Structure 1
Amino acid sequence: MVPVLLGRIQTRLFLLAFVGSAVTAIVTPLVGATYGTTFAILAAVAVLGVGWELLYHLLMQFRWEKDWPSLFGLLTAVPEGLLLWALLKRGAVPTVDAAPSLAAYAAHFLAVWIAVWLVANGPMRVPFPRWRFHGGRLI
């Protein structure tokens, strides 16, 4: 993807709102959590994601092509997931109930992350054919 910061943020928020919400609605009963908790986690991923995009954009400036390989986008789940888990355990992310178990959190987080990554690297290019050439901007 062409590394334009605004486009990366828009894409992240768009995919979390549509794909992330759908996956969260499906996964929540399977992991034994409440919708209030899982959607609070999804909102935290979106809010923290803007900060992550700023950091990733800064790091990309040191790369010759100014972009990540696609696999890096998938692997960024590790630091983002660990930070969010630490914030959940410290109570820094307000949830309806207590923080879910590590297994429930990991299942939900990874399901959303993989679904968003797959859509961004595949089907996203069908309804938005010029998305890549406009720096990822959706608007």
Structure 2
Amino acid sequence: MTDLTYTANGTYDRNGIATINICIPAPPTNNSYRTELHNLSKITSSGSINVIFCHFTNGQTVPLQHNSFDYRMGFDVNNSLRHPGAVDFDETLEEALFIFFHDEIFSQRDRTYFFNHIEELYPLIKQQGNQNQDVLLKLAAKSTTVQPRKVGLSLVIKR
């Protein structure tokens, strides 16, 4: 069975309102999850790509393992922090790449890495489907071997 931990499914509408379900446990009642949303949308040689990057931490230093989409997020993509060089999220496009990144350190360096590799990641997800990956420790601003550094890469569709 394919491990879909950290991947997502969901939709966004023509006003940029997104409803995303992520394959991690629902937060405990004290809501110990912390997230930051960043717009990494980009114009490439083949056109515009919508990208939302969600940095996530749960205060733990081990990766999660989960098999259902229990964590639900609702947000306006237009209120996301804009990464340097990113363009406006285009609500007219039919899909968006959603990057859900689990790490205890919220680093600009990590976001820049993903922004620089969108042209490689997007076709990979289009061809092979939603997936999770380990992220290289050397990319971290402060590398340690105990950080989760896991990423879920998913396509979210316009409804």
Q: Give the TM-score category using the shorter length.
A: 0.3 to 0.5
Structure having the larger proportion of residues in strand? 2
TM-score (norm 1): 0.37
TM-score (norm 2): 0.33
Structure having the larger proportion of residues in helix? 1
Of structures 1 and 2, the one with the larger relative CO (CA 8 A, separation 6+) is: 1
